[in-house]
Structures are given as C-alpha cells and as structure tokens.
Amino acid sequence: MTFSLHQVSPAYPFEPHSIKLGNNSLSYVDEGRGDAVVMLHGNPTWSYYYRNLAKLLKNSYRVIVPDHLGCGLSDKPQDYSYHLEDHINNLETLLDSLDVKKISLIVHDWGGAIGMGYAVRHPSRIKSLVILNTAAFLSPKIPWRIKICRTPLLGPLLVRGLNGFAGPARFMAVTKPMSEEVARGFLAPYDCWHNRVAVCRFVQDIPLSPKDHSWHTLKQIEQGLDQFKKNPMLILWGGKDFCFNDHFYKTWLEKFPEARTKYFPEAGHYVLEDAFAEIGPLVEDFFAAEL
C-alpha cells in the first residue's frame, strides 16, 4: 500500500481489517451489527465505491465490503493469477473466517461474477440480492475501448503504464462529473505500474471464448443462476453504461422476471455515483422488507 487512508478521508471513514491469504493480506470493511450485507466491487474500483451505501446501511446491518486481492487496500502481488475462481475462493475464505452463515449480496461490475460464483457454491447462505450494472453470465459483447486493453504488450502499457483504464473511468463511468476529492479516492490505490496489476489482470481475464481461462468458471455460474429465482432481488441499472449496457440489463430481466427493478436512464456505469440519492432509500426499503 503506497497511500494512506487520509488521502480518501473523510469520504471513506472506515477502519479496515485484514485477513491473510497465504503470503498476502486482503483488506475489508466490517461495520455495524445485524444481518450481514456483503458488497462486492468490480474493476477498476475498490470498497470506496460503496462508501455511501456502507455508511447508510451500517446503522441497521453488518456491512462487509472486501477489496479484492490486488485492489484498494489489499496487497497487490505481482505473480498472482487473478482469475475469477481465485477471487471467489478469496471471498469464501473471508466469509468463512468471519463465521458468516447467511448474507445478502450487493454486486457491481466484476463483483457480479464473483458474488454469484460464491452464491452458486453456497445457495443456502444467500438471502437476497441487489444487482448494479454487472453480469454473471457469458456474453461476447465487449466495448472496443476495453477490448484494446486486452491486446498483448499494448494492453499492459495502456492499463499499467499510462493508467488508461482506471484513469479514464473517472469520467467515462459517470454522467455527473466527479469532484476532485472523489476522483482522488477512486484512483488512490492505483498510482503506479506495480499497483495497477489487478486492474490489468481483470481485463485480461474477461472470458470471451472457451479458450479463455475463466470461461468455464463463468459458464458454471450462469448455469447455477436459476436456483435464485425465488430469492428477493432488486436490480438497479444505469442506462448510460458504455460497458454493461441494456443488453445485460435485459438478460437479467429475462433470467429473473420477478425481480424488482429501477432503471436510471441518465446514470452511467458507476450508478452509485450518479444516482445514489435515489438508490440509497430504495436499498434501505428493500432490505427492510426482506431481512
């Protein structure tokens, strides 16, 4: 870790904990008491993405928000594989260590595949689900600006060397301009080549064909989604997401036609940034009814 919490405080007023995963430390927020709500971020964010929702919910629930290995305040090993199954394994280890038996999941971006990967392994532990601009199923659709970041040699140069993924996300993933303070918070953990290793590996791990390492892992997750049709689900979607666009939204609706939904036509990929004033009360009401 090359930065201090003071760089993102007071917007991130949490005292993180950590757990050892072999030689590496995984950081996580664990605040409040009551039913457990686990929030899973994607790429290139970290637990900071959930700062406002965590502050809101911790008064009524136990809020657990990990930083995936390589992200946020977690260690950033250079020789780690960073595959989807690795992140699912890490989440499983964390929740087992916390002796959490039942959870509600809030997932965004890669957090969808990671969270639903855990859910498929432990369906009896899942109470309810909140879905935010994500996927947990196979799709060949990928924007050209992400696809170019997967290119050998050029991809790492763009993502790790020029910060061409996390950097542009501060304006490409939102429709409302971020303040300088918020942008610094998002970017603080990813300030050099070394610290952007997972940002790059997440992009490289996107499964687009059966030859990709995580293809079969994601296929198994997709095949296991049907068992959650009876779980309470709230889908909150930003309509101006250049990556997880309406194709993904419609797929969720097809798979879970009974889910409660709210579509935000003017919000981007970081839907919690663009529409939190509306989303916060919706999530509160959803959990109040279901937990």
How many CB atoms neighbour CB 225 within 10 A? 16
- Whether the upstream peptide bond of residue 13 has omega within 30° of 0, thus cis, is no
Cβ atoms of 16 and 73 within 8 Å: the answer is: yes
pLDDT in tens, 259-286: 999 999 999 999 999 999 999 999 999 9
Q: Is the pLDDT of residue 1 over 50?
A: no
DSSP 3-state assignment of 10? coil
Question: Given this model, what pLDDT does residue 6 score?
Answer: 65
CA dist 247 and 268 (Å) reads 14
Alpha helix positions (H), 31-165? 51-57, 84-97, 110-121, 144-147, 154-156
- Residues 245, 37, 205, 140, CA torsion sign: negative
Per-residue pLDDT, averaged over 59-77, amounts to 97
Q: What is the pTM (predicted TM-score) of this model?
A: 0.96
Beta bridge partners of 24: 21
Domains in the chain, number: 1
List C-alpha distances in Å: 52 to 47, 100, 273, 277: 10, 23, 9, 10
CA dist 14 and 154 (Å) reads 37
CA dist 159 and 215 (Å) reads 22
Give the domain extent around 161. 5-290
Q: What is the CATH number of the domain that holds 36?
A: 3.40.50.1820
pLDDT in tens, 181-227: 999 999 999 999 999 999 999 999 999 999 999 999 999 999 999 99
Q: Is the pLDDT of residue 99 over 70?
A: yes
CA dist 19 and 179 (Å) reads 32
CA dist 239 and 237 (Å) reads 6
The H or E element that residue 104 is part of is strand 103-109
CA dist 71 and 78 (Å) reads 12
List C-alpha distances in Å: 71 to 10, 23, 91, 122: 20, 16, 13, 24
